[in-house]
Structure 1
Amino acid sequence: MGTLTGKTALVTGGSRGIGRAIAERLGRDGARVAVHYGTNEEAAGETVAAIESAGGSAFAIGVELGTPGDAERLWAEFDRQADGVDILVNNAGIAAAHPFEEIEEKEYDRLFAVNVKAPFFLTRLGADRLRDGGRVVNISSGLARAATMPHLLAYSMTKGALDVLTRDLSKLLGPRGITVNSVAPGIIDTDINASWLRANDEAWQGAAAISALGRVGTPADVADVVAFLASDDGRWVTGHWLDATGGSLT
């Protein structure tokens, strides 16, 4: 019996990177996991297969976020395969393609649509499906608290907004025993970061040096933190911004 046996989890952006690691960890802990993806159905299928091969249960949901009615469509797909949810992980997000000096209004709006509006309405519409004693975990960023990469200003702003959602929502859902927390990764070795992180040894070593622990983070490092908050061990932690940057902000 895993710590999450009998629970159902929804992980947005669960097909790759940090989201996949979270989905797989929650699956190992016994939860039935809804693996959401935007466009990469193949990657979502691989994640579901990995969870099932490890003895867990999972299913995929394909809905592109940042489009009108995205939250309604996602929950409609979810409802076809599950009855209620215990753990909602708002992980899906996009990064800024252009720095502050170059970003256009269209890209700015897209960032906020995916990174802020989507989790807001996913949580609002999901509140009635979320069982008492449930968990909401929002994946933030160390950039919400430190100007380590000021050229990514618009992206950092979205994560700051997500943290406000965490803070205030913890008060609204607290009477139902539902905890709401933010987990803030630092530099993580994912395919999204690979183009610059693995460009050369200097880039890798420079990223590792930012952490107090002297290494680049892995998706599993973040997933294990989320698993703690999703478990009964995290029952007394809510409204909290949890630094999962490996000491990059110290």
Structure 2
Amino acid sequence: MTQTLSGKVAFVTGGGRGIGAAIVRRLAREGATVAFTYQSSTAAANELAAEVAAAGGRSIALQADVADAASLTRAIDSIAQQLGKIDILVNNAGVLLLGTLDDFSLEDFDKTLAINVRAAFVAAKAAVPHMGQGGRIINIGSCNAERMPFPGGSAYAMSKSALQGLVQGLARDLGHKGITVNNVQPGPTNTDMNPEVGDFAEAMHGIMALQRHAHPDEIAAMVAYVAGPEAGFVTGASLTIDGGFNA
């Protein structure tokens, strides 16, 4: 396989497991050096870094709380100082907190915004000074930005919709620097947080054109495309990969 990202430095938030881990593996396989954050899953993060190394790639695991702007900024600055630059930023860290208006707390509302929206802005603000022409910023959004078919997801859907506006605005702000900014919006994806089996999964499959969950590698493939040289004219876009969830 041609390594389309050879010589690039990528920074992935929430890369220790699930979709984030698949993104780390794929970008490393494409030749990038990949730094990724994790919050508490130290063993899983170290295992992932060892797996990448065994496959001939290079990755660096950093503990950071993306809801803490200072912590996230320090992590990005430290990688830029160590590796000389950041070419690709993937804002993958996210939280899914559910509840109807009656029982959804303001604390959970604030946490949803802090992790799903504010952290993406903070990370972009920290990474852009270390990016040159052709840099890439990629947010992992959700198909729920455009469709929320069950109760209890209003705050989550709002947070992912906010990323659409953020991406469109940042694409304008950064276009003169040659930096592209995009969302990748997955549908149901088979991770430990959203397994492909169970009553809830069956209900989601019932409204999808392809009645299954995505594999995390399928989402990572879309991210690798947007991060690569062939996507140089794609910016300000929200690219949905949802098996027809929103069809």
Q: Matches of 2:180 and 2:69 in 1, distance apart?
A: 28
Q: Which residue of 1 aligns with 2:197?
A: 198
Residue 180 of structure 1 deviates from its aligned partner by 0.6
- Say which SS state the counterpart of residue 49 (structure 1) adopts: helix
Q: Matches of 1:230 and 1:74 in 2, distance apart?
A: 21
- Corresponding letter in the other structure for 1:231: G
Q: Which residue of 2 aligns with 1:63?
A: 64
Matched, 1:148 2:149: yes
CA distance 1:150–1:132, shift in 2 (3 Å): farther
Unaligned runs of 5+ in 2: none
- Say which SS state the counterpart of residue 10 (structure 1) adopts: strand
Runs of 4+ aligned structure 1 residues displaced above 6 Å come to none
Matched, 1:208 2:205: yes
- Say which SS state the counterpart of residue 213 (structure 1) adopts: coil
159-168 vs 86-95, which deviates more?
Answer: 159-168
Unaligned runs of 5+ in 1: none
- Corresponding letter in the other structure for 1:175: H
- Corresponding letter in the other structure for 2:189: I
- Say which SS state the counterpart of residue 71 (structure 1) adopts: helix
CA distance 1:100–1:217, shift in 2 (3 Å): farther
Matched, 1:244 2:236: no
Residue 100 of structure 1 deviates from its aligned partner by 3.0
Q: Matches of 1:62 and 1:79 in 2, distance apart?
A: 16
- Corresponding letter in the other structure for 1:90: N
CA contact (8 A) 1:17 1:190 kept: yes
Residue 92 of structure 1 deviates from its aligned partner by 0.3
Residue 67 of structure 1 deviates from its aligned partner by 2.5
Identity over aligned pairs, percent: 37
Q: Matches of 1:25 and 1:243 in 2, distance apart?
A: 19
CA contact (8 A) 2:69 2:122 kept: no
Matched, 1:106 2:107: yes
Residue 2 of structure 1 deviates from its aligned partner by 0.5
In angstroms, what is the RMSD of aligned CA positions? Answer: 1.5
CA contact (8 A) 2:69 2:119 kept: no
CA contact (8 A) 2:98 2:156 kept: no
Q: Matches of 1:54 and 1:140 in 2, distance apart?
A: 29
206-215 vs 179-188, which deviates more?
Answer: 206-215
CA contact (8 A) 1:61 1:78 kept: no
Matched, 1:217 2:214: yes
Q: Matches of 1:90 and 1:129 in 2, distance apart?
A: 16
